[in-house]
């Protein structure tokens, strides 16, 4: 069972890290790059990137991290006292931070993504500047928060794996 717990924790680290990297890249390269673009390019590019992102690979890391964090927590509940006491608090912190990212995503960023998508083809949008103004600053601000909490989640689950390995004598 120890090897299975280790594998699940490792998979949770990997998928959480992929999610953290995704939000980090949007915060520190994609959105600053789009900020330099004109309104038409901003809206059209954003629409295309959001549509392209909705795929199985994204779902695997984004949803998989949550499922694997939960599974790892459940598995750690069955671990011996030292393994559980060293790793579980860090895993719980990782899960709480990841849930915070999910709440932000579904409460703030997804509705703005949907607003941009619902605006239709760029040629048909009468007020590109107004649409961009309603979305850009808020989307960027909350994505930066998502980046910070997801990177923190990644750090916590990584530390949980390290602590579990130390407690099992494999770290």
Mean pLDDT, all residues of the chain:
94
Predicted TM-score (pTM) of the model is 0.93
- pLDDT band with cut points at 50, 70 and 90 for residue 138: very high
pLDDT of residue 2: 83
pLDDT tens-digit map of 34-43: 999 999 999 9
Structure tokens at 16: 């959480």
pLDDT of residue 152: 98
pLDDT tens-digit map of 67-88: 999 999 999 998 888 777 899 9
Contact 140, 31 (CB under 8 A): yes
pLDDT of residue 170: 62
Contact 156, 91 (CB under 8 A): yes
Strand ranges for the chain from DSSP E = none
Q: What is the mean pLDDT of residues 85-114?
A: 96
CA distance 45 to 36: 12
pLDDT of residue 1: 63
pLDDT tens-digit map of 37-66: 999 999 999 999 999 998 999 999 999 999
- Any residues with CB less than 8 A from the CB of 99 and at least 6 apart, and which? 66
Contact 97, 152 (CB under 8 A): yes
CA distance 2 to 80: 10
List Cα–Cα distances, 165 to 7, 68, 89, 92, 169, in angstroms. Answer: 11, 17, 15, 17, 6
Check whether 171 has a pLDDT greater than 60: no
pLDDT of residue 167: 86
């Amino acid at each position: 069972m120890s090897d299975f717990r280790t594998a699940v924790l490792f998979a949770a680290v990997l998928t959480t890290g992929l999610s953290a990297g995704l939000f980090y890249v949007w915060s520190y390269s994609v959105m600053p790059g789009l900020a330099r673009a004109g309104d038409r390019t901003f809206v059209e590019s954003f629409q295309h990137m959001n549509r392209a992102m909705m795929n199985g690979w994204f779902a695997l890391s984004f949803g998989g991290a949550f499922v694997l964090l939960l599974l790892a927590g459940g598995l750690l509940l069955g671990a011996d006292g030292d393994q559980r006491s060293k790793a579980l608090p860090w895993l719980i912190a990782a899960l709480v931070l990841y849930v915070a990212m999910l709440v932000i995503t579904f409460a703030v960023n997804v509705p703005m993504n949907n607003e941009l998508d619902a605006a239709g083809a760029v040629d048909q949008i009468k007020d590109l500047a107004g649409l961009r103004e309603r979305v850009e600053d808020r989307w960027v601000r909350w994505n930066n928060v998502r980046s910070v909490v997801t990177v923190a989640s990644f750090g916590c689950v990584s530390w949980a794996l390290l602590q579990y390995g130390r407690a099992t004598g494999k770290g």
